[in-house]
Structure 1
Amino acid sequence: MEFMKVLFMASFCVIVCEGINTRELFSPKLSNKSVESAWECFKNLTGAQRGDTSKAMIILKHYFQKFGYLSISDGENVTEEFDEMTESAIKMYQQNFGLKVTGKLDEQTVTQLMTPRCGREDVMKFNGSKTGSYGMKHYTYFPGSPRWSVNRRHLTYAFDPDNEVPEITQTDMQTVFASAFHRWAAVIPVTFRETDDFPSADIKIGFFYGSHGDGYPFDGVLGILAHSFAPEDGRLHFDGAESWTVNLEYNSAMTAIDLESVATHEIGHILGLGHSSIKEAIMYPTLPARTRKINLQNDDVRGVQGLYGSNPK
């Protein structure tokens, strides 16, 4: 299983970014040095500005499209040119992440672009227009502010028995998710209970590789960590290719991703929250490797209580 996981990671990275050493990636004893992030090729864009050309620019444009900063029509020819639309997308991205707004791919911007992150958009679309995220200062909601209905406030969750990861034991998995759900339940009148009945669970949790049938493929190590869907969908998917851990003290891998941190973030989406531009917030889009971030901040609490109200005193 572990060797097959490495094979997938290698083949996908070759498709996404050029210039990766596939010979090292195919080693079953994968070292920290041999692992390239899904967006490693963005390093080649450092210093780029309007008028420049690069093959990596095509990947960057699709990145911006995915996260809501750039609109690309079906069938549109995506070029290698750093054009006016790309410059505008970069400025919007820099604004949202609190970076110096230059419209250029300076080192700080490229570093942020390469940081592992959630697969949900930063800029939500309302009736075809981008609203509420350019220069956003706090929490956001999905279009229409969906939430779980009043008669569905006692939610069940279950783990997909066919889509697990071997490095996390069942006990650890249960402990991590119970803790993550509890944080949200502590501030809103919604409860969560684990069930063994996966088909009927309100929230369905699984680990997947690459394209897995929901239209949002994963991309390998240190790219998109996970994604989930607005209420009342309930799907919560993690990229099985990541180096998941429940204890960073006992995992020395430079690529290690804290499962509880990502789970807590994705549950926020399950409840209806979009991304926040406040770096300390759980709903901030990115999470560097070897980072633990599990405590709800005021921005997270205000956002979710705006949907569900607060717990009775």
Structure 2
Amino acid sequence: MASKLSFPFLCIFFFSLFAIPVFSHLHPNGLLDNNTSQSPFEFLKNMQGCHKGDKVKGIHDLKFYLSHFGYLNYQSNPNVTNPKEDNFDDELEEAIKSYQVFYHLNATGTLDAPTVSKMVKPRCGFPDKETHQHSDKTLHTVSHYQFFSGRPKWPKDKRHLTFAFGSRFPTRFMPHVVRAFSKWATASQYFTFSRAITYQSADIKISFARGSHGDGSPFDGRGGVLAHAFAPTDGRFHYDADESWVIGAVPNAYDIETLALHEIGHLLGLAHSEVENAIMWPTFTSGVTKGLNFDDVQGIRALYGN
């Protein structure tokens, strides 16, 4: 990643090659609908037990999933002639091992039950590894927090950042996103935040979106990617409007502040952490709230020199 990312997933090539099944309910406000729909990650359950040498319908979707989140890149591999094939090859095995190491699973290279259980969990849309490599040599890692390649961050003369909400952002959620900014201000001992006068003038722009929404990183309906944000100094932060969003711990819904804390971490320059209790851990559980962890605080202070 250079000093500025063009979009959060870093895998346009794979959007053109594969298609994870999407089940999207376009309900009126997109925020508190209780209708159930199949998660776009559910197809992974049909792949359970697959291992190197198998040829099973749908493996190409598994390849897309791992590409999408930074573990696989057939585009740069000259030995791969057709990444759409449903072959469980050496590259896929190595990608699964890399995923298993990140999530503290046994690195079997097989799509076993514990691995599938992790993969189907709703999560942030940012990749865990932006380099699509099986080592972390290009990522700066201290403890378990991570920075983006090139360590993009806000310049020294931008210690005060402004934010604004899109015109359709529910007002009942705004104070809880504001509180997330306040928590990061305290944790960083570097930034202060305030509401911008206009949306256009804000350093950070927060909105709800669904499906393809113009940033090259479409949302996927209920139960898959919950939200995404961009590395410094882009400033865009999007919630998936097809999810059920609430304030606090409510069964079968996601806490607006918990996801704000996570995505603000990306906006400030933190990548995903390998510490499960950290707010920068990639996956989330409905009905659960989460706050900043010591690993998150260490990471932001290390990045900005505190």
TM interval, short-chain normalised: 0.7 to 0.9
**Correspondence for 2:47 among 45, 51, 67:** 45
Residues 88 and 246 from structure 1, CA distance in 2 versus in 1: closer, same or farther, beyond 3 angstroms? same
The one-letter code of the counterpart of 1:218 is F
Aligned residue runs from structure 1 range 163-174, under 5 A: 163-164=168-169, 169-170=170-171, 172-174=172-174
1:85 counterpart SS class: helix
Aligned residue runs from structure 1 range 1-313, under 5 A: 16-17=20-21, 34-73=36-75, 76-125=82-131, 131-132=137-138, 138-161=144-167, 163-164=168-169, 169-170=170-171, 172-188=172-188, 189-249=190-250, 252=251, 254=252, 256-293=253-290, 295-310=291-306
Residues 105 and 271 from structure 1, CA distance in 2 versus in 1: closer, same or farther, beyond 3 angstroms? same
2:187 counterpart SS class: coil
How many aligned positions are there? Answer: 280
Contact 2:139 2:147 in 1 (8 A): no
Give the whole-Å Cα distance in 1 for the aligned partners of 2:176 and 2:153.
24
Contact 2:26 2:242 in 1 (8 A): no
Q: TM-score, normalised by structure 2?
A: 0.83
- Shifted more, 56-65 versus 110-119: the winner is 56-65
Q: How far off is 1:130 after superposition?
A: 5.5
Give the whole-Å Cα distance in 1 for the aligned partners of 2:48 and 2:108.
13
The one-letter code of the counterpart of 1:272 is G
Summarize deviations over 1:177-233 as a string: whole Å, max 9, x none. 111001110022110101240001000001111111111111111111111111111
The runs of 4+ residues in structure 1 deviating greater than 2 Å are 15-18, 25-32, 53-56, 74-77, 124-127, 129-137
Q: Which runs of 5+ in 2 are unaligned?
A: 1-18
Name the % identity: 42
Name the residue aligned to 2:4: none
Q: Which runs of 5+ in 1 are unaligned?
A: 1-14
The one-letter code of the counterpart of 2:155 is S
1:187 counterpart SS class: helix
Contact 1:115 1:286 in 2 (8 A): yes
Q: TM-score, normalised by structure 1?
A: 0.82
